[in-house]
Chain A
Amino acid sequence: MSTETSALEGLAPQAAPFEGLGRPIKGPGALIRDWRRFWHLTYNIARNEFKLKFFGSVLGYVWQVMRPLLLFGVLYVFFVVISHVGRGGKPSEHAYGVQLLGSIVLFTFFAEATGGSVRSVVDRENLVRKIQFPRLVIPLAMVLLSFFNLMMNLVVVLIFALISGVHPMLSWLEVPLILAMLVLFSTGMAMLLSALFVRFRDIQPIWEVVSQIVFYGSPVIIPIQKVRETLIEGHHHDQLLYHLYMLNPLVTVFQQFRHAVVTHATLSAGQALGSWAALLEPLALVLAVFALGFWVFNRSAPFVAENL
């Protein structure tokens, strides 16, 4: 404390002669004033990563679409064909394949955006140590890159849905809102993880496990009706566990996507939560994660170059 005050006292009388010297140079930060430059940087880094990812392989873009489709194929054969998940003939299980694929595609975005961000800042040590640019660009570019892929995959979902007899509905207009919640949550996690990884290198294996838990802990394979039946209406009766399950923002995202895009017979997020007011809980969690992620990243950004 004392050194700080003495330094300030020392500077105060000298402040006047420094006027007119131009702008002060601040150290590195997460953001910059010039939003256009911030966007250009993010967009161009993401674009180049995108090129890099696919130009080297023979089938290029096809692979990006194939990955969730292959996962879908495996899950469909084992769970739907063999274990008869989603084949009870209930109206909520209408076009179950589309429901499954939709959730897989959304989850793939989440896993790529967060998993890709973890190492992103550390892997770009060369840039961080040698060029002055807003540090937040790096994880955001990774999220944007995953978003490009999501857009391509959603086209596949659309085609698959139309083939499977899903009719276009007015509720498809909800999709941007659903995606916004997903992107906000993923961005928050991406900022948090990439900043923490600089100091704690075991974030990476931990996050890989957590991603797996999230995959099974959200309505991707097992329909939410089944979870509800078992935990609330069945003899297990575990209100608390169901509450925890519903707290995961991805549950809201995936379920509302199924409801809005595939069939209204399946539960909407509001029905699954009990009331639309209860939606505030996962929404608050999304905003909290985003705020925490930004706060942590912003705090560590000035020292990233030294801590690498």
Chain B
Amino acid sequence: MHTLKERALHPLRPNRYQTFDVLKDISFHVGRGEFFGIAGRNGSGKSTLLKCLAGIYGVNEGRIWVDGRLSTFIELGVGFNQDLAARDNVVLNGIMMGLSPRESRRRVDEVIDFAELREFEELKLKNYSSGMHVRLAFSVAIQVDADVLLVDEVLAVGDAAFQQKCFDVFHRMRDEGRTIVFVTHDMGSLNRFCHRALLLERGEMVHLGEPHEVADRYLEINFGRTESAGSAADSGRVGDGDARVVEAWIEDEHGQRPASVAQGQRIALKALVRFSAAVEDPAASLYVLNEDHLAIVVATSAREHEQSGRFAAGEELLLSFSFENVLAPGRYNPLFTLAHRGTGMDLIDRLEGAFSFVVTGPEAMGGAVDLPVEVTISRSQAELPAISRA
């Protein structure tokens, strides 16, 4: 019903409004000086929650309290007008954010200097490059000194150097004891900044606690959904078929079969093999492939269990490959092979794509595995005499 005509033509048609509860049963408390994260998938209601906190959307039920001056930082450069000079925009933006005109005018110079745009302050915004635009918007936003800041994924913009500047500012604010509520779906920055975090899913609270717990749950929800079924696809199956891997799965420390596993846990990849003919001393191997189809982990029973024994038709065998999970965060596909004794070329069965699992971790460093590396930096004074001698 957006026009009077529709209403006049269909006076009896009821208004087809669909009510949709975006947020349900949300309750949390953020203490003074806390850096609080709100995480969730797209459409989970995290931005709506932030707008409710900011007073931009009204809530139908429930209440929100704030102690201190609140400033919202939902998008960079809200209300910037392309046809006005940077100076005018900065003043107006300050007033919109709650400063008095005098205060706002007094701060213009600070803002322009922080953005390093002194020479361009009288230039209209439409003549600015996008980088200059972002710099100006960001420095406007951080000049509004509030006790409580509501921040929505603004860190996603800008180049690496600018992001670093943002991070520095957030570190500084955190150290100054300001309260920051931060919405994100970047688990790296969640872990880096937040003291505590809240995970939303379909408008409901899923988890409230330590950032790394929230990050793990987030990844679990995010990737768990697309987890493939446990039964093996028979396509591309090679080998003489004297035995078949009938089931394969992953187990965590507690014997559960999760869809995702956290880094640092001990995990076991297991498979059940059923024989349809007698086989003597079979050898089993495991390949763990990453998303680029590179074998990150390869293990075989041929070394330690050369004489694995004789299996008759109908017998079953349980394989278990267990290791400390040092895999980098991402999705992995295990591949099991079973071969006759000997060179390992005489394949009985090969199972790929039975299932995949996700490794969750605080931060993707970029390596294929995250080994516990000890890093030290020290001045190498021992070298100095050697140089002087030469």
Which residues in window 95-122 of B have CB below 8 A to A?
95-98, 100-101
Flag the segment in A25-33, A59-67, A277-285, A287-295 that touches B: A25-33
Instruction: Select which of A24, A25, A200 is within 8 A of B3 by beta carbon.
Output: A200
Q: Given A22-B67, A23-B67, A40-B100: A200 and B53 within 8 A (CB)?
A: no
| Interface membership of A216, Cβ < 8 A | no
Q: Given A21-B67, A40-B101: A52 and B84 within 8 A (CB)?
A: yes
The answer to whether B56 and A28 have CB atoms under 8 Å apart is: yes
The answer to whether A201 and B78 have CB atoms under 8 Å apart is: no
Interface residues on A, range: 35 or more
The answer to whether B56 and A132 have CB atoms under 8 Å apart is: yes
**Which residue on A lies nearest to B5, using beta carbons?**
A202
Say whether chain A's binding surface is mostly helix, strand, loop, or mixed: helix
A305 to B65, CA, bound (A): 21
The answer to whether B2 and A200 have CB atoms under 8 Å apart is: yes
**Which residue on B lies nearest to A137, using beta carbons?**
B96
The answer to whether A199 and B88 have CB atoms under 8 Å apart is: no
A305 to B91, CA, bound (A): 24
A43 to B81, CA, bound (A): 16
Number of A-B residue pairs having CB atoms within 8 Å of each other in the complex: 106
Residues from chain B with a CB closer than 8 A to the CB of A18 are 63, 65
The answer to whether A132 and B72 have CB atoms under 8 Å apart is: yes
| Interface membership of B369, Cβ < 8 A | no
| Interface membership of A131, Cβ < 8 A | yes
Q: Given A18-B63, A25-B66, A202-B5: A133 and B96 within 8 A (CB)?
A: yes
The answer to whether B67 and A44 have CB atoms under 8 Å apart is: no
The answer to whether B63 and A11 have CB atoms under 8 Å apart is: yes
| Interface membership of B278, Cβ < 8 A | no
A179-222: CB near B (< 8 Å → 1, else 0) gives 00000000000000000000111100010000000000000000
Q: Given A131-B56, A303-B58: A25 and B65 within 8 A (CB)?
A: yes
Residues from chain B with a CB closer than 8 A to the CB of A303 are 58
Which residues in window 226-261 of A have CB below 8 A to B?
none
**Which residue on A lies nearest to B27, using beta carbons?**
A14
A44 to B92, CA, bound (A): 7
Interface hub of A28, A126, A132, A302 (most chain B Cβ within 10 A): A132
Which residues in window 72-131 of A have CB below 8 A to B?
124, 126-127, 129-131
The answer to whether B55 and A27 have CB atoms under 8 Å apart is: yes
- The smallest C-beta distance from A217 to any residue of chain B, in angstroms, reads 22
Q: Given A23-B66, A27-B55, A51-B88: A44 and B95 within 8 A (CB)?
A: yes
Residues from chain B with a CB closer than 8 A to the CB of A58 are none
Residues from chain A with a CB closer than 8 A to the CB of B58 are 26-28, 302-303
Residues from chain A with a CB closer than 8 A to the CB of B52 are 25, 27
The answer to whether A24 and B65 have CB atoms under 8 Å apart is: yes
Which residues in window 13-53 of A have CB below 8 A to B?
18, 21-28, 36-37, 40-41, 44-45, 48, 51-52
| Interface membership of B75, Cβ < 8 A | yes
Residues from chain A with a CB closer than 8 A to the CB of B66 are 21-23, 25
The answer to whether B65 and A21 have CB atoms under 8 Å apart is: yes
Residues from chain A with a CB closer than 8 A to the CB of B79 are 124, 126-127, 130-131
| Interface membership of A9, Cβ < 8 A | no
Instruction: Select which of B68, B83, B97 is within 8 A of A131 by beta carbon.
Output: B97
The 9 closest A-B pairs by CB, nearest first: A27-B58, A22-B67, A21-B65, A25-B64, A132-B55, A302-B58, A130-B78, A130-B74, A202-B3
List the interface of chain A (C-beta within 8 A of B).
7, 11, 18, 21-28, 36-37, 40-41, 44-45, 48, 51-52, 55-56, 124, 126-127, 129-133, 199-202, 206, 302-303, 305-306
Q: Given contacts A25-B66, A28-B58, could you give 6 more A-B pairs where the C-beta distance is less than 8 Å?
A: A18-B65, A21-B67, A40-B100, A41-B95, A51-B84, A202-B4
What are 25 residue pairs bridging A and B, where the CB atoms are less than 8 Å apart in the complex? A18-B65, A21-B65, A22-B66, A23-B66, A24-B64, A24-B65, A25-B55, A25-B63, A25-B65, A25-B70, A28-B55, A28-B56, A36-B100, A37-B98, A44-B95, A48-B84, A48-B92, A51-B84, A126-B78, A130-B74, A131-B79, A131-B97, A200-B4, A302-B58, A305-B56
